[in-house]
Structure 1
Amino acid sequence: MRDYLILFAQTHETFRKLELEALAELEQVSVDMSDHSEESPLLVVSLESEDAAIRLTRRAILVRSVFEVWGCGATLEELHEDMRRRTQDEWPKYKQESFRFDIISFQGSRTSSEQRQIMESFDFLDFQGPIRMRDAKHTFTVVEEYVPIPSADLSKSHHALAKMWFGRHIADGQRDIIAKYDLKKRHYIGTTSFDAELALVSSNIGLAAPGKLVYDPFAGTGSFLVGAAHFGATVIGSDIDGRQIRGKPKRNITTNFKQYNISAHLLDTFVCDFTHCPLRPSLLLDAIICDPPYGVREGLKVLGSRNKGRYADGQPTVLENGDFSHLRADYIPPKKPYHFDALLDDLVVFAAEHLVDRGRLCCWMPTANDKDEETGIPTHPELVLIGNCIQEFNKWSRRLLTYVRTPRGELPTAPVERRTYNEQFRDKYFRGFAKPTT
């Protein structure tokens, strides 16, 4: 076992640990992340080999880089001493190789002169290979972490050096692909197209991979389908709005897949009401990754009629020129209101029925930033909630809820408790999340 330093991106802090744990499961890498803190982008883990470090982070979206730790200390002198104790026997292997030095500081900075002095302090390594700022075979990095210190002057921030690491750069995550899938560059998007970075993160957390079947029942313009397909999964999507599924002849979900050269991973898309999903019960899915409609822009609806009298024993009775109206080519099926909490309850039931054992449901849920923000999280006796990551906005947030389907037979089947709320998210949204007046 050897220590490796993981440098996370300084964004989406609550998602980092869950994404890396998912990748550890996918790559079958044993890793202890108990020391992870959302306050710091640095994490030291013990791994079996350099190959394990590469496999763990090579498709991570929220990981910038990983380094093989050669030493650490609270001061430069302690760092040098620790390096001699840990890795002195390995230095000769890199003596004639091309190399470069780099310095990364978190919550602190160094002047160019200070950086140069730090680099020169490692002359005891006796590296004699050529220094190359580009295409060097090895990059040796000093990583510094500063912490805030109390100050009487609240208008000024003061930070002190807490720890330093010296390491050999091993690999980078896949943050470079965020720009590739940027919605601004995508041929076909809509008002509900999901942020590319978090769509990719959701796909990692959902364990999308070659040989996996991933379904999005609220596909829209296919953001999660594209993210899962990037990682090699076979994807299928549906939506109640046929306009988004069909798009236009030269701008639709299919053309997005062609744009990224991942068409082979798109199994199909179809139009359906999620509450009447045509997927047969025997079809088992490896993951369900979705962003259910919140019903903010317009009230959430499903197929059905508010007027029960228009139907008798489930049979349509509306006739036009002697023919049933639902058989006409221009027929538009009626819709009735559908509450978001009911949708989430139906979603967990659907997931329990259609996920393979240990399959994952990753769904996004909006919440108000108040004391009761977590009371509306749906539950199911055969699904275990393993992740509750939050993306905060001004007065509201959205959460990525991640469930794992327990192996069938391990838990007794129990009835699902339907949840009730005094207020709906949509009502709070349009009130500006202010308390209702009495």
Structure 2
Amino acid sequence: MSIPIPLSDDEPIECLIHFAQIHETFRKAEIDALAVLHGIEVVWTGYSDDSPYATLLLPSRASARTLVSRSILTKSLYELWATAPTLPSLHDTIRQRTSHLWPALSAHPFKFTIETYNASHTAAAQLALINTFSYLPLTGPISLHNPTTTFTLLESYAPRAPTPHTLHFGVRLSAGARNLPDTYDLKKRTYIGTTSMDAALSLITANLALAAPGKLVYDPFAGTGSFIVAAAAFGASTWGSDIDGRQIRGKPAGPGVRDNFVQYGLVGGYVDGFVSDLTNSPVAARRFLDAVVCDPPYGVREGLKVLGSRDREKGREAVVRDGVLRHLQPDYVPPKRPYSFTAMLGDILAFSAARLVDGGRLCFWMPTANEDFVEGIDIPTHPQMELVCVCVQVFNKWSRRLLTYSRKPGNEGLEGVAPVKETREEGAAEGAPRKATADELNNFRKKYFEGFRPS
């Protein structure tokens, strides 16, 4: 599908996105989320996870620039002039579709670039390709560092093929935000931990969560703050909690989560952090959050736990040490009890459904064993949460999926829906937690230590 090249900045245009060839299943999802965030209508005309080039129709050049301005996985966006299977046919299409644009561009400083996929060119070969565009009446000076117009030829090759199977030609409109992951690189960060999420994936998660100025974003498994730092980088107000208060506070006299916000000049975007877990949360069950983002614990190094005790009677009496209530002392570590992995997933959805505004987003990561995962069956569901997209990061024998949900309007379908309850020992009293092993409560953990053998 192609449309005429417009003369006005406000007319629809056909564009080409040059994606980074990484995190392929996240790329289209990120652009779709940014389209929702900015209210831009996007019509995809060509996309494949196997290619770095995708084509789409956008309302205007201005909307095109806005769309990719904070995209982590976009290298560049082009106004597409032509697509063809061979170089001669590409030139014919350019002459037919774009000659009315040439006078407006002819006198400006310009440069030519060439992008290839599955191939490379010598400098001499690149010059020869550029010279084939000599029919363009470009009278302005060549400017390699500060051009007004950048013309780009983009070629796609099959592996080891001598000639390209598809060629695109266009004018560069804008770059993405590929620099942001370097800015927020964990290696440069003041405070990190063993589970801190990679900066690029944190920023992509924040994009899928529609983090923006005026939005309130919460992470119930905040750890060292990777997701809330990323959301604050896009202007959101953020806060988080963690079952381990040492993660929020940091070491005595050492850095903590707040120091990461200080480092990046984002203190105004950090509301606060507190000690809590999802099943014992002080967060009001009313709908005021714009997004919930998290990477819940996988329970591999130690079994999943929540605040509380296996012994239902333990902790009912206050403990005093040196005249001060024990739970108010800085070194206090609250007791914890085992927690089911399946229950955690259900509780995340129920927690979010009760607190997200209409259209608010839940983005959380879920680990899965590759051999056992069944698409469409093993994705957790909730009647008030609509699954928007599933993005997959594959490792050797396991993967982790970024699940993105949108809160449906209203409360229809919530009657009788309750959070997932813990299983109990056979014959145990009603409400008593089951004294199960970590592996029994977390099938992923069991599979991990078994080497992900098929069931």
TM-score normalised by length of structure 2: 0.88
CA pair 67-272 structure 1, distance change in 2 beyond 3 A = same
C-alpha separation in 1, matches of 2:454 and 2:401: 22
Following superposition, the deviation at residue 423 of structure 1 comes to 6.2
Aligned-partner SS, 1:165 = strand
1:386 pairs, out of 384, 388, 399, with: 388
Query: Is 2:207 aligned against 1:207?
Result: no
**In the alignment, which residue of structure 1 is the partner of 2:406?**
404
**In the alignment, which residue of structure 2 is the partner of 1:182?**
185
Whether the 8 Å CA contact 2:287–2:354 is kept in 1: the answer is no
* 1:137-174: CA deviation from partner (whole Å, max 9, x where unpaired): 211100111124xxxxxxxx436411111111100000
CA pair 235-422 structure 1, distance change in 2 beyond 3 A = closer
**In the alignment, which residue of structure 2 is the partner of 1:151?**
none
**In the alignment, which residue of structure 1 is the partner of 2:428?**
none
Aligned-partner SS, 1:175 = coil
CA pair 352-34 structure 1, distance change in 2 beyond 3 A = farther
* 1:28-47: CA deviation from partner (whole Å, max 9, x where unpaired): 11111263211111111111
Aligned-partner SS, 2:389 = strand
C-alpha separation in 2, matches of 1:417 and 1:333: 23
Query: Is 2:100 aligned against 1:89?
Result: yes
1:115 pairs, out of 101, 123, 126, with: 126
List aligned pairs for 1:135-174, cutoff 5 A: 135-148=146-159, 157-158=160-161, 160-174=163-177
User: Please, which moves more after superposition, 417-426 or 190-199?
Assistant: 417-426
C-alpha separation in 2, matches of 1:233 and 1:286: 10
List aligned pairs for 1:257-276, cutoff 5 A: 257-276=261-280
The letter of the residue matching 1:137 is T
* 1:371-424: CA deviation from partner (whole Å, max 9, x where unpaired): 435443211011011111100111111100011110014556453585998961
Aligned-partner SS, 2:405 = strand
C-alpha separation in 2, matches of 1:206 and 1:92: 43
Aligned-partner SS, 1:128 = coil
**In the alignment, which residue of structure 1 is the partner of 2:347?**
346
Superposition CA RMSD, Å:
2.2
* 1:264-286: CA deviation from partner (whole Å, max 9, x where unpaired): 11111111122111012235100
The letter of the residue matching 1:192 is T
* 1:4-54: CA deviation from partner (whole Å, max 9, x where unpaired): 111111000000111100000111111112632111111111112110110
Query: Is 2:255 aligned against 1:251?
Result: yes
Whether the 8 Å CA contact 1:325–1:331 is kept in 2: the answer is no
C-alpha separation in 2, matches of 1:18 and 1:362: 12
Aligned-partner SS, 1:281 = coil
TM-score normalised by length of structure 1: 0.91
Aligned-partner SS, 1:87 = helix
**In the alignment, which residue of structure 2 is the partner of 1:293?**
297
Whether the 8 Å CA contact 2:372–2:454 is kept in 1: the answer is no
Whether the 8 Å CA contact 2:342–2:442 is kept in 1: the answer is no
C-alpha separation in 1, matches of 2:441 and 2:265: 47
**In the alignment, which residue of structure 2 is the partner of 1:277?**
281
The letter of the residue matching 2:308 is G
List aligned pairs for 1:307-326, cutoff 5 A: 307-310=311-314, 316-317=316-317
**In the alignment, which residue of structure 1 is the partner of 2:436?**
none
C-alpha separation in 2, matches of 1:17 and 1:303: 39
Aligned-partner SS, 1:308 = coil
List aligned pairs for 1:34-73, cutoff 5 A: 35-73=46-84
CA pair 84-411 structure 1, distance change in 2 beyond 3 A = farther
C-alpha separation in 2, matches of 1:321 and 1:208: 44
Following superposition, the deviation at residue 435 of structure 1 comes to 4.4
The letter of the residue matching 2:241 is S
Query: Is 2:210 aligned against 1:191?
Result: no
Following superposition, the deviation at residue 320 of structure 1 comes to 6.1
**In the alignment, which residue of structure 1 is the partner of 2:449?**
430
Following superposition, the deviation at residue 111 of structure 1 comes to 2.7
C-alpha separation in 2, matches of 1:237 and 1:66: 35
CA pair 158-96 structure 1, distance change in 2 beyond 3 A = closer
C-alpha separation in 1, matches of 2:131 and 2:263: 48
C-alpha separation in 2, matches of 1:253 and 1:328: 21
C-alpha separation in 1, matches of 2:416 and 2:359: 18
The letter of the residue matching 1:96 is A
**Identical pairs, percent:** 47
Q: Kindly tell me the number of residue pairs found equivalent between the two proteins.
A: 424
C-alpha separation in 2, matches of 1:398 and 1:261: 31
C-alpha separation in 2, matches of 1:327 and 1:414: 35
Aligned-partner SS, 1:293 = coil
List gaps (5 residues or longer) in structure 2.
1-11, 424-439
C-alpha separation in 1, matches of 2:347 and 2:355: 12
C-alpha separation in 2, matches of 1:294 and 1:303: 17
Whether the 8 Å CA contact 2:30–2:204 is kept in 1: the answer is yes
List aligned pairs for 1:5-24, cutoff 5 A: 5-24=16-35
Following superposition, the deviation at residue 290 of structure 1 comes to 0.5
The letter of the residue matching 1:305 is S
CA pair 85-202 structure 1, distance change in 2 beyond 3 A = same
The letter of the residue matching 2:285 is P
Following superposition, the deviation at residue 308 of structure 1 comes to 2.3
Whether the 8 Å CA contact 2:307–2:334 is kept in 1: the answer is yes
Whether the 8 Å CA contact 1:358–1:407 is kept in 2: the answer is yes
* 1:64-111: CA deviation from partner (whole Å, max 9, x where unpaired): 100111222111111111111111011011111111100001112223
Whether the 8 Å CA contact 1:380–1:416 is kept in 2: the answer is no
C-alpha separation in 2, matches of 1:267 and 1:240: 18
**In the alignment, which residue of structure 2 is the partner of 1:221?**
224
Query: Is 2:250 aligned against 1:239?
Result: no
**In the alignment, which residue of structure 2 is the partner of 1:153?**
none
List gaps (5 residues or longer) in structure 1.
149-156
CA pair 309-322 structure 1, distance change in 2 beyond 3 A = farther
C-alpha separation in 1, matches of 2:320 and 2:214: 48
Whether the 8 Å CA contact 2:347–2:419 is kept in 1: the answer is no
Following superposition, the deviation at residue 326 of structure 1 comes to 5.1
**In the alignment, which residue of structure 2 is the partner of 1:27?**
38
